[in-house]
Amino acid sequence: MRSKVTVVGAGNVGATTALRIQQLGYTDVVLVDVVEDLPQGKALDMLEAGPVTGTDARVTGSNSYEESSDSDLVVITAGIARRPGMSRDDLLLTNMRITSSVTEQVVKYSPDCIIIAVTNPLDAMVQNIYETSGFPRNRVFGMAGILDTARFRTFIAEELNVSVEDVQALVLGGHGDDMVPLVRYTSVGGIPITELMAEEKIDQLVARTRAGGGEIVALLKEGSAYYAPSAAITQMVEAVLLDKKRILPACAYLEGEYGINGLCVGVPVKLGAGGVEQIMQIGLTEEERTALRHSAASVQELVDVMKKSKEEAAG
């Protein structure tokens, strides 16, 4: 029997993700969005690609969650993107409300699912979805690190004129400008990057990686990246559904790991059928530890704003 994945949010990231997951062939997909007819239209279009691409996987669209019942995995991309004149906090609280209501529905209809959060600001949204769901921490995590490392790997491969497949990299911390690409753990065919590239060039590529999302936004003018994000989400979906036990960076709820307690930030994890089956703890230099703490503090600030807003709403 094929497994079932629901993608909430049928915008750029959600729809592209649904298409990629359908093309895996071994899982049916339900696309959910609040906009009337939008998920139905996109789902039908994808379904009609099946005879050409050779997949029997079903794709259905819906404005409610009944269709999504008993999903094995749910990807949450629902939310708004920042528009001119909006503060970061405006985006934060709007997407907090959206992801809270989405999560309540997801939990009601798929109580045993694994949730992959994608909505930005990523780490704060993972925290909100984790807390709202009441799920154990292994079943709620976020996609950011694979995308950030993919950007770093792309730039390194271009610079050295080598295959992207041979570049390995690791990024820690929040999905923001203060993410922490770990140069020490970056290698090309097993060769440390420092053997192949001058420090100055590495620093340039790290800076470009940190600003990678913004670089795409500036080019697209409207909206943000979705091809690479959807590829990253699909890799996580596959790791879970095929119980691959892959070691990948993900945003996970930490309970003391890396000296961080009660906060969702990016760390290397083992992803398999149980979701985050293990948080991989690796040694950090003092400088890396400081950078991670700094990045976690930025996430904590947003989490505090959400907490305050919830307390005010509760009266």
Active site residues: 175
133 binds ligand APR (CB under 6 A): no
Query: Per CB under 6 A, does 12 bind ligand APR?
Result: yes
Q: Under the criterion CB under 6 A, does residue 34 sit at the interface with ligand APR?
A: yes
Among 60, 119, 187, 209, the residue binding ligand APR under the rule CB under 6 A is 119
Are 180 and 171 within 8 A, CB to CB? yes
Cα 40 from Cα 63, distance rounded (Å): 8
| Residue span 91-110 as binding mask against ligand APR, x where in contact by CB under 6 A, dash where not | -------x--xx--------
Closer to ligand APR by CB, 189 or 223: give it.
223
156 binds ligand APR (CB under 6 A): no
Rounded distance between C-alpha atoms, residue 56 and residue 59, angstroms: 9
Residue choice 5, 7, 10, 264 for contact with ligand APR (CB under 6 A) = 10
Q: Does 120 bind ligand APR (CB under 6 A)?
A: yes
Q: How far apart are CA 29 and CA 8, in angstroms?
A: 10
Which residue, among 265, 157, 146, 145, has the nearest Cα to 205 in the 3D structure?
157
- Which element (helix H / strand E) includes 238? helix 227-241
State the minimum distance, in angstroms, from the CB of residue 32 to ligand APR: 6
Contacting residue, 5, 14, 182, 187, with ligand APR by CB under 6 A: 14
Q: Is 288 in the site for ligand APR (CB under 6 A)?
A: no
Residues of 172-182 as b/e, b for ≥16 C-beta within 10 angstroms? bbbbbebbbbb
Side by side, the strands of the sheet bearing 59-62 are 59-62, 27-32, 3-8, 73-76, 114-117, 140-142, 246-255, 261-272, 275-279
Taking the C-alpha atoms of residue 146 and residue 305, their distance in angstroms, rounded to an integer, is: 27
Counting contacts by CB under 6 A, is residue 78 touching ligand APR? Answer: yes
Q: By C-beta, is 83 or 161 nearer to ligand APR?
A: 83
Which residue number, 96 or 240, has a Cβ lying nearer to ligand APR?
Answer: 96
Site residues, ligand APR (CB under 6 A): 8-14, 32-35, 77-79, 81, 98, 101-102, 118-120, 223-224, 226, 229
